[in-house]
Structure 1
Amino acid sequence: MYRNVAAVLLALLLVACVPKPALRVHGDASLLNEQQMREQALAHVDQWTLEGRIAVSDARTSGSGDITWVQDGEHYVFTIRGPFGKSFRLTGGPDQALIEGMDGGPLSGPDAEDLLRKALGWEVPLHELRAWVLGLRADGGPAELSFGVNRLPSLLQQDGWNVDYREWDATRRPALPKKVFADKAPFKVKLSVESWRLGQ
């Protein structure tokens, strides 16, 4: 009898330890209208700085570090600092990008995503990520949205990527994401934002 009771208790404990999946609802007219209002409010915000942590992985390798991302219109500066042994700076704009701090000296080219691929083996959708990190749909193609109980985007599917919004700073108006996990097998990008600064 005691063995049976112990088995039942163990089973209940294991069930209790399994994390519950996020409650998501497909975007209805009301939720999509609220999202459109958020997007309109942030559409002209083209100067901002975020500080946080970034992790990038594929089926074979991974790397992580502290990130400072400064966006000024079409121009950007990413500064990523170890501890994975590759601290570097990526700067660029619409037609030119430069990676500094890598072994072998600076690397430049017209496509920042291609530079990251060559230098680090990272697959990062930089153009789309600029919108996704603000909780917006990118202008690259059709997007499908699901929402959480907070009425903010929970999952964005666009250009073959799944963008999972794990946490929001709802004290801001409009709200801004704090944890953004994007994946397109086998690539994963995880961004945890510790601070936002909008404008100069």
Structure 2
Amino acid sequence: MKLRFTLLLAASLLTACASTPPARLAARDHIRDFTLEGRFALRVTLPGQAVQNSGGRLTWTHQNRSDRVLLSSPLGYGLAEIETTPEISRLRTAEGKTRESSDPDALIEDVTGQRLPVSRLPAWLLGRSGGTAQIETDARGRPARLSEDGWQVDYSFEDDSPSALPARLTLSRNGEIELRLRIEEWKDAP
């Protein structure tokens, strides 16, 4: 059960957290590739099961339509690594187990039992639709809330600029899953 929760956490985390973005990073609307460092807290409340909480750190690189997410405990111990490309998705656990699939959402469902929107998360981080999202904006035109396929993403910013990158995100679905992200740093992808 602990492995399933860790993998659910890993899947949920193709996501992030930010302080003021570096000046060299493009404005939110023009970003295609990025690296971010942050912290996460995940709460899963599934019917008939005990509430599960987890948290830790993440490093996420999104480049050329591919992602690499490294998840670690609050003390820095590796939990999992997720790599996705347009052709293949691979999840490696700290125990050395590897799973692969051509569909990242199906891979996570196979591993955790939950269909999670892994393929949409890079767009959602930046307040963009991963398909047919409804996006509410704040007074500065930045994303405030995104709703898509039963998921809700709420955004918080530390910078008043209309092109600011989010510093905090909360992703939730039907009161069952809540993922909070605190992005400490956004960087250009290497």
Pair 1:155–1:43, CA change in 2 (3 A): closer
Q: Which residue of 1 aligns with 2:73?
A: 82
Structure with larger Rg: 1
Greater length-normalized contact order (CA 8 Å, ≥ 6 residues apart): 2
Pairing of 1:175-186 with structure 2 (within 5 A): 175-185=164-174, 186=176
Q: Which residue of 1 aligns with 2:42?
A: 56
Q: Which residue of 2 aligns with 1:194?
A: 184
RMSD: 2.7
What is the TM-score normalised by the length of structure 2?
0.70
Matched, 1:65 2:51: no
- Map Cα deviations across residues 111-148 of structure 1 (whole Å, 9 max, x no partner): 2233334445565422221111112222x11x323333
- Map Cα deviations across residues 88-129 of structure 1 (whole Å, 9 max, x no partner): 111121231111234362222222233334445565422221
Equivalent residues, number: 157
CA–CA distance in structure 2, aligned partners of residues 123 and 62 of structure 1 = 19
Q: Which residue of 2 aligns with 1:156?
A: 146
Matched, 1:133 2:94: no
- Map Cα deviations across residues 29-86 of structure 1 (whole Å, 9 max, x no partner): xxxxxxxxxxxx6565322101001223321323221000001111110000014987
Matched, 1:115 2:107: yes
The structure 1 segments of at least 4 consecutive aligned residues displaced by more than 6 Å after TM superposition are none
The match for 1:105 among 97, 104, 112 is 97
3-state DSSP class of the match of 2:157?
Answer: strand
List gaps (5 residues or longer) in structure 2.
Answer: 1-26, 46-50
Pair 1:62–1:95, CA change in 2 (3 A): farther
What is the TM-score normalised by the length of structure 1?
0.67
Percentage identity across aligned positions? Answer: 25
